[in-house]
Amino acid sequence: MSDFLSNPASLFDVRGKVAVITGASGAFGALAAKVLAGAGAKIITVAGSKDALDEVVAECRALGAEAEGVNRRPSSEAECDAIVTEAVAHYGRVDILVVASGKNDVAKITEMAPERFLDVMDANVTQSWLMARAAGKRMLEQGEGGKVVLMSSARGKLGHPAGYSAYCASKSAVDGLTRALGCEWGETGITVNAIAPTVFRSPLTAWMFEDTDRAKTVRAGFLSRVPKGRLGEPADLAGPLLFLASRASDFYTGHVLYADGGYTAG
């Protein structure tokens, strides 16, 4: 890394790296795919919705990147192994994994069936573990390190009064997985970190940005806890993602990076 003083931007260079992004049809997954595509990486987008997947692939290609879609969900060991196999078939290797797939299910604990709780845990925790395992095997075989970026949330650190027992528990588990794998793979050159946002602009949160009485009330209450005084934008996640996916973060592992405007600092 001796060249960084004369060319600091080289620390964030991911050109030619092969990035696998699960949940690529979702707000953060699509953003991650396009950010890394625009930075010159080769992109493998993964999602269960073929139409949405094709759209993200087209957007990545429009940015000048090589991009392919894998119409699968990381729902089992076999599926996760197949995702990595397809990535290697297309581009010969895997350098970056971004696990952006997951779900929430909001209900008070007394009103939530155990099956619903386990479904959230599977989508957010087990599938993150399975994808990290599958991609990690390949990275270890390659012997050149790698980057694993998991998707956490401020709710992994803070509770929520409105029926988030499954979601909060799952994101706390993602944080634990991040720390454990950061330690386990510490000397291999594979870094494992997580991004933890709060509310950022997406199709699911668009209503919070609107000029309605309900949105104003909810937004005001939320922003009273955010030192930056505004809701998040997709660009607020782009920088942390590129940092965690590039050699700029080679000495940064097992950490949760809160892209939250200071929400969890208070």
Q: What DSSP string describes 39-94?
A: TT-EEEEE-S-HHHHHHHHHHHHHTT--EEEE-----SHHHHHHHHHHHHHHHS--
R_g of the chain, CA atoms, integer Å: 18
Judge contact between 42 and 63, C-beta under 8 A. no
Number of alpha carbons in the 13 Å side-chain half-sphere of residue 35: 24
Q: Among the residues of the chain, which ranges form H helices?
A: 27-38, 50-62, 77-91, 114-121, 127-142, 165-184, 213-223, 235-245
Identify whether 164 is a catalytic site residue: no
Judge contact between 182 and 191, C-beta under 8 A. yes
Question: Which position among 91, 167, 258, 263 bears the catalytic label?
Answer: 167
- CA dihedral angle for residue 100, residue 41, residue 257, residue 123, rounded to 10 degrees: 10
Residue 144 has a CB neighbour count (10 Å cut-off) of: 12
Residue 47 CA to residue 58 CA, distance in Å, equals 14
Residues involved in catalysis: 167
